[in-house]
């Protein structure tokens, strides 16, 4: 049995509202697109009000090398990762040196030694802590990391797993990329980090939602839907306009199959903790699953307040969900989409194991 004990989040210091970013984008893209004002309506349609970034606006107005971007990524990843971990652990009484396995998820920068090694030193974790860095899963990485934590404590129930998801999407912005994909990305993405503490049945003195089961799906021949291409000056975004359509067509059968495997139906799910990839994606979830906006309230509010922080965003949503009270035995569906094109699902139960009919 695996439980989520706590979540801690962190964002960088520079905050910009959507109108400011829209003005910045207009100046950049207006020579490329004659009808720029029409295209800029995407900024209003995202349902985002503000976002956080690792650098001030003027930094993005100059060309930057991949080396410069990546060095800033390492520095900021260590700062934000430490903050998120400390906030995650402070309410539990568990110290960094008591962590047994450290999972680190990211896609927006590179480091060897990986960021988890940097943080093990900064936080003075025990030298024999196990660590697993996971790279390249994009927005799906948070739920995928949660699944790996679940599997680990199922096998080792006395262990404590710390999962850190961290993305600095703003640092991947390339001002010379004047594609529509980059314009869309500029309207959505931001920076943030989230840490999650997952424990096994023999190491858990606290109450938290139980992770019931997880599932991964990758659609064949869909690698061009979402991802990055490595260019000389950084990562070039790949972002298909077909993502909401794929959600509408594909998600309901996958969710039904996932729940049927454990003798549940969609009607048994009270909460949907979805990665808010964008307003259109959330609306596509509503249509596909036949649900109202209410189960996605926290997803919409996180999108409004932070934008899309890739893999970390779903835990900003879950953090808000954990602040609510939940009826005994209620279920929550955690979901995210990512490169591949792929889907990650996890089922939570707010209850002791005996009360859930799984």
SS3 content of the chain, % helix, strand, coil (to 5): 45, 25, 30
Residue-level pLDDT at 353 = 47
Check whether residue 127 and residue 180 sit in a common domain.
Answer: yes
| 355 within domain boundaries | no
266 contact partners, CB below 8 Å, separation of at least 6: 255, 256, 259, 289, 290
Which of 199, 220, 246 is a domain's end point? 199
Q: pLDDT digits over 245-304, tens only?
A: 888 888 899 999 999 999 999 999 999 999 998 899 999 999 999 999 999 999 999 999
Q: How far apart are CA 289 and CA 287, in angstroms?
A: 6
Domain count, the chain: 2
Other C-beta atoms within 10 Å of 161: how many? Answer: 27
CB-CB contact of 333 with 269 (8 Å): yes
DSSP string, 11-32: --SEEEEHHHHHHHHHHHHTTT
| 70 within domain boundaries | yes
Check whether residue 241 and residue 269 sit in a common domain.
Answer: yes
Check whether residue 167 and residue 214 sit in a common domain.
Answer: no
Check whether residue 169 and residue 236 sit in a common domain.
Answer: no
Residue 317 domain boundaries: 210-350
Sign of the CA dihedral 132, 135, 141, 144?
negative
Check whether residue 152 and residue 60 sit in a common domain.
Answer: yes
CB-CB contact of 116 with 164 (8 Å): yes
| 357 within domain boundaries | no
Check whether residue 263 and residue 183 sit in a common domain.
Answer: no
* 78 closest CA partner among 99, 100, 56, 54: 54
| Helices and strands in the chain, H and E counts | 11, 13
Check whether residue 218 and residue 183 sit in a common domain.
Answer: no
Residues that are catalytic: 139
Check whether residue 214 and residue 76 sit in a common domain.
Answer: no
Measured in residues, the chain has a length of 358
Check whether residue 26 and residue 158 sit in a common domain.
Answer: yes
Q: What is the mean pLDDT of each successive set of 10 residues along the chain, which is 358 residues long?
A: 94 96 89 86 91 95 92 97 97 94 96 96 96 93 97 95 97 85 88 96 75 92 74 77 82 94 94 93 93 94 96 97 91 92 93 48
| 204 within domain boundaries | no
Q: Are strands 234-239 and 50-53 parallel, antiparallel or unpaired?
A: unpaired
Check whether residue 7 and residue 61 sit in a common domain.
Answer: yes
């Amino acid at each position: 049995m695996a439980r989520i004990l706590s979540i801690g989040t962190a964002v960088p210091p520079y905050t910009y509202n959507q109108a400011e970013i829209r003005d910045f984008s207009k100046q950049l893209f207006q020579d490329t697109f004659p009808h720029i004002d029409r295209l800029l309506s995407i900024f209003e349609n995202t349902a985002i009000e503000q976002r956080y970034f690792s650098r001030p606006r003027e930094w993005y107005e100059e060309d930057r090398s991949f080396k410069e971007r990546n060095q800033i990524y390492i520095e900021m990843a260590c700062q934000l990762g430490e903050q998120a971990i400390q906030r995650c652990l402070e309410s539990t009484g568990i110290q960094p040196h008591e962590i047994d396995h450290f999972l680190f998820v990211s896609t927006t920068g590179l480091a060897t030694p990986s960021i988890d090694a940097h943080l093990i030193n900064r936080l003075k974790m025990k030298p024999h802590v196990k660590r697993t860095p996971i790279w390249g899963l994009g927005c799906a990485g948070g739920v995928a990391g949660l699944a790996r934590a679940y599997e680990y404590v199922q096998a080792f129930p006395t262990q404590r797993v710390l999962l850190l998801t961290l993305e600095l999407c703003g640092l991947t912005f390339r001002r010379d990329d004047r594609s529509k994909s980059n314009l869309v990305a500029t309207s959505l993405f931001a920076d943030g980090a989230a840490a999650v503490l997952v424990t096994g049945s023999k190491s858990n003195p606290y109450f938290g939602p139980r992770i019931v089961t997880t599932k991964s799906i990758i659609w064949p021949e869909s690698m061009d839907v979402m991802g990055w291409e490595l260019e000389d000056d950084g990562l070039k975004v790949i972002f298909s306009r077909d993502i909401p359509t794929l959600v509408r067509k594909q998600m309901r059968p996958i969710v039904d199959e996932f729940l049927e495997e454990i003798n549940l139906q969609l009607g048994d799910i009270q909460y949907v903790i979805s990665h808010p990839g964008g307003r259109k994606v959330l609306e596509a979830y509503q249509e596909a699953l036949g649900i109202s906006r209410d189960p996605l309230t926290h997803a919409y509010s996180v999108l409004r307040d932070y934008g899309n922080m890739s893999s970390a965003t779903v835990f900003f949503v879950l953090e808000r969900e954990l602040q609510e009270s939940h009826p005994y035995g209620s279920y929550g569906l955690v979901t995210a989409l990512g490169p591949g094109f792929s889907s990650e699902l996890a089922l939570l139960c707010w209850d002791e194991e005996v009360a859930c009919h799984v």
